[in-house]
Amino acid sequence: MVDDIQKQCRVCGHQEFSMWGNRDGLPLYQCKNCELVFFFPYPTQEELEVYYNSSYHAERGYGGSGNAGQLRKQMYELDIKDLEKKLRSYGRFLDVGCAEGVFLSMLNNRWEKCGIDISQPAVEQARQKEGIEAEVKEISEVKDNSFDVVHLRGVFEHMLDPLEFVKISNQKLKNNGFLVLSNTPNIGGLVPALFRGRFKLVIPNEHLHYFSVRTMHTLAELGGFVIKDITYPYFGSPYCSFWKDMIDIPINLVTGKMSPPFWGNIFTVYMQKI
């Protein structure tokens, strides 16, 4: 038990934590009730603003250019296939953290596509280059009951208050609408459980919260959703080299390296509004 955190879990409100790991000396704690893992203390809003400076998006290949951008596009294709299988009908689609709009541009045009992001240059590029209806906006500013899908790809783990976000998403969705938390790090997977602070998707200042299937069920229950499906993107992705990854798990563990990609490292959670 860790006594020195006078803090409530930002998902379930419980106050008992255990030490889960650390990255570069920064401690990670885990809620004993819902399994949420988080860095503590949290970065301040000012620190986050410095972190998400104007070059954040360009450096990460979200615009679809360069090698990183190409790999990302291949992942989007797989994600979209999965999404269309699970959602079956079209409607109004909101991508939260849409960046330069590359994901939205690849989505079937039968969707009515909208995007929001915190980055003005990214949003401008989404509008001009991809022709996407994108705005700099918080989800709280979106009209209530107006979307069939609220989608976040690799974005949910950046949120300072995940439960608050899930509750607001619920208000913005129409009845039976879906909240899709795509490509989120899964702290319940085999590799994160083995590597802890050396799990590659543990990133201080950027990924503030880490979820397991249990955390997701808690979020759904408290936020007015039911989980309809969970998928684990890995096989068929450009990051998958199954046999190499299998061998790298024990090697990287004993040599102190970061974790390799593997099945179960990330998940996509489909929650339906009830």
**Does 36 participate in binding Zn ion (rule CB under 5 A)?**
yes
**Does 33 participate in binding Zn ion (rule CB under 5 A)?**
yes
In the complex, the smallest distance separating the C-beta of residue 209 from Zn ion, rounded to whole angstroms, is 10
In the complex, the smallest distance separating the C-beta of residue 2 from Zn ion, rounded to whole angstroms, is 13
**Does 12 participate in binding Zn ion (rule CB under 5 A)?**
yes
**Nearest CB to Zn ion, comparing residues 34 and 187:** 34
**Does 114 participate in binding Zn ion (rule CB under 5 A)?**
no
**Does 102 participate in binding Zn ion (rule CB under 5 A)?**
no
In the complex, the smallest distance separating the C-beta of residue 161 from Zn ion, rounded to whole angstroms, is 13
Task: Please state the φ and ψ torsions of residue 29, each to the nearest 5 degrees.
Answer: -115, 155
**Does 166 participate in binding Zn ion (rule CB under 5 A)?**
no
Span from 4-12, 109-117, 146-154, 238-246 in contact with Zn ion (CB under 5 A):
4-12
Span from 13-21, 58-66, 84-92, 126-134 in contact with Zn ion (CB under 5 A):
13-21
**Does 216 participate in binding Zn ion (rule CB under 5 A)?**
no
**Does 28 participate in binding Zn ion (rule CB under 5 A)?**
no
Binding residues (CB under 5 A) for Zn ion: these are: 9, 11-12, 14, 31, 33-34, 36
